[in-house]
Amino acid sequence: MADVNWRQDALDLANIIDYIKRFNLDAAREIGAKLFDLSESLTRFPRRGRPAANDTRELVTTPPYVLTYEVDGDTVHILSIRHGARRPLD
Protein backbone atom coordinates (compact mmCIF):
# COMPACT_ATOMS: atom_id res chain seq x y z
CA MET A 1 0.00 0.00 0.00
CA ALA A 2 1.17 3.49 -0.84
CA ASP A 3 1.42 6.42 1.54
CA VAL A 4 -0.42 9.64 0.65
CA ASN A 5 1.42 12.95 1.09
CA TRP A 6 -0.48 16.23 0.66
CA ARG A 7 1.67 18.99 -0.79
CA GLN A 8 1.01 22.56 0.34
CA ASP A 9 -0.90 23.55 -2.84
CA ALA A 10 -3.20 20.56 -2.39
CA LEU A 11 -4.30 21.92 0.96
CA ASP A 12 -6.58 24.19 -1.09
CA LEU A 13 -9.15 21.55 -0.13
CA ALA A 14 -9.86 23.57 3.02
CA ASN A 15 -10.56 26.67 0.90
CA ILE A 16 -12.89 24.68 -1.36
CA ILE A 17 -14.83 23.37 1.63
CA ASP A 18 -14.99 26.82 3.28
CA TYR A 19 -16.35 28.35 0.07
CA ILE A 20 -19.06 25.71 -0.37
CA LYS A 21 -19.94 25.87 3.33
CA ARG A 22 -21.05 29.50 2.88
CA PHE A 23 -23.86 28.26 0.66
CA ASN A 24 -24.60 24.73 1.84
CA LEU A 25 -23.05 23.09 4.91
CA ASP A 26 -24.27 19.59 4.01
CA ALA A 27 -22.87 19.84 0.49
CA ALA A 28 -19.53 21.03 1.86
CA ARG A 29 -19.33 18.02 4.18
CA GLU A 30 -20.29 15.63 1.39
CA ILE A 31 -17.79 17.04 -1.10
CA GLY A 32 -15.04 17.11 1.53
CA ALA A 33 -15.70 13.47 2.42
CA LYS A 34 -15.74 12.42 -1.25
CA LEU A 35 -12.45 14.18 -2.00
CA PHE A 36 -10.80 12.73 1.10
CA ASP A 37 -12.08 9.21 0.29
CA LEU A 38 -10.84 9.61 -3.25
CA SER A 39 -7.38 10.53 -2.03
CA GLU A 40 -7.36 7.59 0.37
CA SER A 41 -8.26 5.21 -2.47
CA LEU A 42 -4.85 6.02 -3.94
CA THR A 43 -3.22 4.07 -1.11
CA ARG A 44 -4.55 0.89 -2.74
CA PHE A 45 -4.62 1.96 -6.40
CA PRO A 46 -2.01 4.69 -6.90
CA ARG A 47 -2.08 4.59 -10.70
CA ARG A 48 -5.87 4.67 -11.12
CA GLY A 49 -5.90 8.26 -12.42
CA ARG A 50 -5.38 9.17 -16.05
CA PRO A 51 -1.87 10.14 -17.20
CA ALA A 52 -1.31 13.90 -17.33
CA ALA A 53 1.48 16.40 -18.02
CA ASN A 54 4.93 16.22 -16.43
CA ASP A 55 4.61 12.60 -15.22
CA THR A 56 1.59 13.42 -13.09
CA ARG A 57 -1.79 11.75 -12.97
CA GLU A 58 -5.30 13.17 -12.64
CA LEU A 59 -8.27 11.69 -10.89
CA VAL A 60 -11.67 13.24 -11.60
CA THR A 61 -14.59 13.04 -9.21
CA THR A 62 -18.17 14.32 -9.19
CA PRO A 63 -18.84 17.18 -8.68
CA PRO A 64 -16.16 18.04 -11.19
CA TYR A 65 -13.04 18.27 -9.05
CA VAL A 66 -9.67 17.18 -10.39
CA LEU A 67 -7.06 15.79 -8.06
CA THR A 68 -3.56 16.04 -9.57
CA TYR A 69 -0.87 13.81 -8.12
CA GLU A 70 2.38 12.02 -8.80
CA VAL A 71 3.51 8.57 -7.79
CA ASP A 72 7.04 8.23 -6.43
CA GLY A 73 7.74 4.64 -5.45
CA ASP A 74 5.40 3.81 -2.58
CA THR A 75 4.32 7.42 -2.04
CA VAL A 76 1.52 9.35 -3.71
CA HIS A 77 2.10 13.12 -3.62
CA ILE A 78 -1.16 15.04 -4.04
CA LEU A 79 -0.16 18.23 -5.82
CA SER A 80 -3.45 20.08 -6.23
CA ILE A 81 -7.21 19.91 -6.13
CA ARG A 82 -9.17 22.18 -8.43
CA HIS A 83 -12.64 22.59 -9.85
CA GLY A 84 -12.76 21.14 -13.35
CA ALA A 85 -13.87 24.49 -14.78
CA ARG A 86 -10.67 26.15 -13.59
CA ARG A 87 -7.59 26.13 -15.77
CA PRO A 88 -4.81 23.81 -14.61
CA LEU A 89 -1.79 25.40 -12.97
CA ASP A 90 1.36 25.40 -15.07
- 28-58 pLDDT tens trace: 999 989 988 999 999 999 999 999 999 999 9
Q: Is the separation of the CB atoms in 37 and 22 below 8 Å?
A: no
Q: Residue count of the chain, please give it.
A: 90
Domains and CATH numbers, the chain: 3-83 (3.30.2310.20)
E strand intervals along the chain: 3-6, 50-51, 57-61, 65-72, 75-83
pTM of the prediction?
Answer: 0.83
In 3-state terms, what secondary structure has residue 12? helix
Q: What is the rounded average pLDDT of the residues 59-67? A: 84
